[in-house]
Structure 1
Amino acid sequence: MSRKKIIHSIIAILVCGFLFWIASVSHASDGPYLEVKFVYDGDTILLSNGEKVRYLGIDSPEIDHEGGKSDPLAWEARRANLEILKKHRVRLEFDIEKKDHYGRLLAHVFMDDGRLVSEVMMLKGYAHVLRIKPNVKYWDRLLAAQRKTMKERVGIWGLKVKEEPAGYIGNVSSYVFHRKDCRFGKQTSVKNSKLFKKRNDAFFEGFSPCRRCKP
């Protein structure tokens, strides 16, 4: 091989390496660091650029902003989110789908100290995992955090909940679990069904409660 061809080959390798590095960096950080303008609850924020962002991978207790009944520890979850984000800017890392049907951005939100906000919320016991395909990049990491917090009975895991004597039915396709008398649970095929005796058995496996029957 001539010297000229060797030089061209080296340049090509360097260019490819540089392009690969650029691609990896852009995937890890899909935008600049931004200020948080407002915190709605434990899993939704408003950024300084006007974008409303829903954290991927978790679900925190719901706040009824219309003055109705909020879920237990909902306001505590909002305060925890506020405290976590205090004095921090954030960046967004997108997964596969970038928006939900409400028009909110769906993102993994990282603070300027490198921490994943949803994971911190999980470790404080103010959220449970929410697996919605195809945005499942950090699901295993978040589930590990949830299992740790469940064992410590922190936050929502310390609440006393009345169990259903009949147990629960989980859908391994949607990763949602239901009361056995829930019409959505009854529609689950035998192939996709998984039975649980207790709520925490379902949570430990990464299932989320049905929003209709609220098991």
Structure 2
Amino acid sequence: MARATAGFWILTIVAACHAAGPLDGLEPGERGRVVRVVDGDTIVLDTGQSVRLVGIEAPSGGYKEREPQPYYTESKRMMEDMVLGREVQLHYGGLTRDRYDRALAHAQTVDALGPAFWLNAEMVKRGGARVRVYPDTAVANAPLLEFERDARRQEIGLWHSMQYRIPYASDLPETFEGFQLVHGHVVDMQGAEGFGAVCDLALEGSALKLQIQRAAASLCQEAVGHRVLARGYVRGNEMEISDTLNFEFVETPTN
């Protein structure tokens, strides 16, 4: 009986040690050594393959007359410190390439040159990037949201900067364009006007409308009357909500 009990606990411990991780269900991709870090969400391997880490949006660098976004340098250095010169394994959970032929992937370090990192998650935990979800690469993105909430609560990394404090939709300038998180109170659901949208959600005191795409259609009926935290690209007073992970119901908005 004692042997049977001991065997049971050994099997239990082994099973726990091999519990499925968030990336275990993804398709293994290429391996390569990181030879360049473009910014906090883009790396280049020794194979020549550029990799855009999915599920996150790091501050971008300057281009032509466009200035780098706040916290760009710190975010890039954060990634360099973790992974430059190290070998990584890519994992795919949907679309594998974008129009620039960048790999769209989750990445893990697989060498013995330092701690093991899931790079996408680690950048969010350290406040080097915000979560941004696309439907065609949304697999394994959900855990990133909790990591971001923790970073926001502790004001880690970019969340310590006033430029990244989350505004109410009513305080967002009507001329604003770019990726943004906003708090708002959904007061009405209207017919869709944009391409691929199924409805528009109106926010109290704001000209900003949340343009709900087909992959997030359930929000059209669920969101009215609720306070929410929405994230997406803003252009022309519209924010496209392409996945339900880009939309959270909240009762007490906090940064």
After TM superposition, the score normalised by the length of structure 1 is: 0.69
Report how many aligned residue pairs link the two structures: 179
Cα-Cα RMSD = 3.5
Moved more, 128-137 or 63-72: 63-72
Cα 1:27–1:62 shift into 2, 3 Å: closer
Corresponding residue number in structure 1 for 2:167: 163
Q: 1:92 to 1:162 in 2, by over 3 A?
A: closer
In 2, Cα distance between equivalents of 1:124 and 1:158: 11
Alignment of 1:22-37 (within 5 A): 29-31=28-30, 33-37=31-35
1:95-137 deviation line (CA, Å, top 9, x unaligned): 1110112221101011115421011111110111111113122
Q: CA deviation at 1:169?
A: 7.0
Q: Following TM superposition, by how much is the alpha carbon of 1:58 offset from its aligned partner in structure 2, in angstroms?
A: 0.6
1:210 aligns with 2:233: yes
Secondary structure of 2:96's counterpart equals coil
CA distance in 2, matches of 1:132, 1:48: 27
- The answer on whether the counterparts of 1:128 and 1:208 sit within 8 Å (CA) in structure 2 is no
Q: CA separation of 1:25/1:130 partners in 2, compared to 1, >3 Å: closer, same or farther?
A: closer
Alignment-derived partner of residue 191 in structure 1: 220
The one of the two structures with greater contact order (alpha-carbon pairs below 8 A, sep at least 6) is 1
Maintained 8 Å contact 2:33/2:87: yes
Residue 73 of structure 2 corresponds to which residue in structure 1?
75
Letter in 2 for 1:181: A
- CA–CA separation in structure 1 for the residues paired with 2:130 and 2:24: 29
Partner residue of 2:126? 124
Deviation, 1:178, is 9.9
Aligned residue in 2 for 1:181: 207
Structure 2, unaligned runs of 5 or more: 1-22, 171-182, 190-196, 240-255
Q: Which has the larger radius of gyration?
A: 1
The structure richer in helix per residue is: 1
% of aligned pairs identical? 20
Structure with greater strand percent? 2
Correspondences of 1:61-72 after superposition (within 5 Å)? 61-66=59-64, 68-72=66-70
Structure 1's unaligned 5+ residue stretches are 1-23
Q: Return the letter of the residue paired with 1:95.
A: G
Please tell me the residue identity of whatever aligns with 2:54: L
2:37 alignment partner in structure 1: 39
Distance 1:139 1:196 in 2: 24
Residue 145 of structure 2 is matched in structure 1 by 143
CA displacement at 1:194 relative to structure 2? 6.2
Q: Distance in 2 between matches of 1:98 and 1:110?
A: 16
Letter paired with 2:107: V
Please point out which of 93, 100, 103 is paired with 2:98: 100
**Bigger mean CA deviation after superposition, 154-163 or 90-99:** 154-163
Q: Please tell me the residue identity of whatever aligns with 2:89.
A: R
The residue identity in structure 2 corresponding to 1:208 is: R
Residues 37 and 48 in structure 1, CA contact (< 8 A), matched pair in contact too: yes
Asked whether the 8 Å contact 2:211–2:238 carries over to 1, the reply is: no
